[in-house]
Amino acid sequence: MTWEKVFLDHDQLRPVWRFFLSVGLIFTAYVVTMMIVGEVLRSVNPFWAHLLFLTALLGVCKLMTAIFDRKPLGSVGLAFHGRWGRELGLGLGLGAAMILAVALLERVVGLGSFAWSGLSSSSALREVAYYGAFLVLAAANEELLFRGYPFQRLVESIGSVGAVALSSAVFGLGHLANPGHTWISAANTALVGIPLAVAYLRTRALWMPIAIHFSWNFIQGIVLGLPVSGYHFPGLFKPWVSGVAWLTGAAYGPEGGLLATGVIVAATAYLLLSERIHISEEMRALVFGPASCRPAPQNVEVSSPASADEAEGSLN
């Protein structure tokens, strides 16, 4: 094998090298973002850091898709295709249902209760608007990082199962620096990376994973007042949670307890099996090429195949 074949496939940089290149560019974008926030803006407000980093991430994705993939930015999963609104709405509903199910379990077994925090209507609206926008940015950033361009090239390189396992493990380990973390919280955070990845792989779009991620965090932190991966927000309700930390998550939040584990597994099963979730014809053409435009199969599409026939045979 020649050096050219090591790096190129049909005159394109191989997916594995595009993966490593995108990771390097994203790391550089992160460092530059932190320098701008710290030295230029001299602000510790995380909202601006998330906004600048999202802009940088989109720039990296645009560079990679235009130069190396020869596709538009929308191919990374942000195209406004015919089903994007449905995917967004389903994701918002699923994320809310997941965290509300955890809160209901805490309430039923006597480990948690919730009461209105006493915020005035004007204060509540301000909190919802500001922290809602902040959490949208945070969810978009994390999904672009862990289910975006690098993950998508990893799927092409090592297959969907390996890519999901690796990205989810890194997702969980990346949260070990959060306040109140435990190994259970890391395992659960890694576990929740699986349904988020499945949501992308079945639709080849990021609208549903971003919506699930945002809705879970928003209901958990801003509505119920529970910690979000160790961070506290001024919630509309004031929670009282008792019991052992390995069950409720304690200071880390519900993701750190085993009550959330069953809910995450159930959500994963739904995302894998639901016939309501499938790739749109527009995204099929954008990701796999016009030749793959045929009626969407009912089985899960979670690989990044070289042909339409392989696309329809994945995870049958």
Domain for residue 31, yes or no? no
Q: Is the pLDDT of residue 264 over 50?
A: yes
Other residues' Cβ atoms within 10 Å of the Cβ of residue 251: 16
Domain for residue 63, yes or no? no
Residue 12 binned pLDDT confidence (cut-offs 50, 70, 90): confident
Q: Is the pLDDT of residue 293 over 60?
A: no
Which of 57-71, 93-107, 245-259 bottoms out in mean pLDDT, i.e. has the lowest? 245-259
pTM of the model: 0.88
Percent of the chain at pLDDT above 70? 89
- The domain in which residue 296 lies consists of 81-313
Q: State the average pLDDT over residues 209-237.
A: 94
Q: State the average pLDDT over residues 69-85.
A: 95
Domain for residue 279, yes or no? yes
Q: State the average pLDDT over residues 195-224.
A: 97
Domain for residue 51, yes or no? no
Q: What rounded mean pLDDT belongs to the chain?
A: 87
**Could you tell me which of 127, 55, 139 has the C-alpha nearest to residue 95?**
139
Which of 35-39, 174-178, 290-294 bottoms out in mean pLDDT, i.e. has the lowest? 290-294
Domain for residue 92, yes or no? yes
pLDDT of residue 304: 43
Domain for residue 11, yes or no? no
Q: Is the pLDDT of residue 32 over 50?
A: yes
pLDDT of residue 1: 60
Which of 39-48, 87-96, 248-257, 273-282 bottoms out in mean pLDDT, i.e. has the lowest? 39-48
Task: Report the number of distinct structural domains present in the chain.
Answer: 1
What DSSP string runs through the chain? --HHHHHEETTEE-HHHHHHHHHHHHHHHHHHHHHIIIIIS----HHHHHHHHHHHHHHHHHHHIIIII-S-GGGGTT---TTHHHHHHHHHHHHHHHHHHHHHHHHHTTSEEEEE----HHHHHHHHHHHHHHHHHHHHHHHHHHSSHHHHHHHHHH-HHHHHHHHHHHHHHTTTTSTT--HHHHHHHHHHHHHHHHHHHHHTSSHHHHHHHHHHHIIIIIIS---BTTB----SEEEEE-S-HHHH-GGG-GGGSHHHHHHHHHHHHHHHH-TT----HHHHHHHH-GGG-SPPPSS---S--SSHHHHHHTT-
Domain for residue 146, yes or no? yes
Domain for residue 39, yes or no? no
